[in-house]
Amino acid sequence: MPVYRLVIKRHGRLIGHFESAATAGLDDSRDIASRLPGGLDRDACRRSEVLE
């Protein structure tokens, strides 16, 4: 099952993260990232595989 993760860092420090396995997870991650100062880093939203 794909999991979409958005990791938010500032000056190398972890500020927060968003993770979703929902069908719209990638779009949701990109929407959140686009609302942050600095916009969307293409590598900020990525798909991860979760092993169960």
Q: Considering the chain, what is the average pLDDT of its residues? A: 74
Question: Which runs of E-coded beta strand occur in the chain?
Answer: 2-10, 13-20, 45-49
Give the pLDDT score at 51: 41
Q: Where in the chain are the domains?
A: 2-39
pLDDT of residue 40: 58
Rounded Cα distance between 39 and 28, Å, is 14
Q: Is residue 22 pLDDT above 70, yes or no? A: yes
- What's the confidence (pLDDT) of residue 19? 85
Looking at per-residue pLDDT, the higher value among 52 and 31 belongs to 31
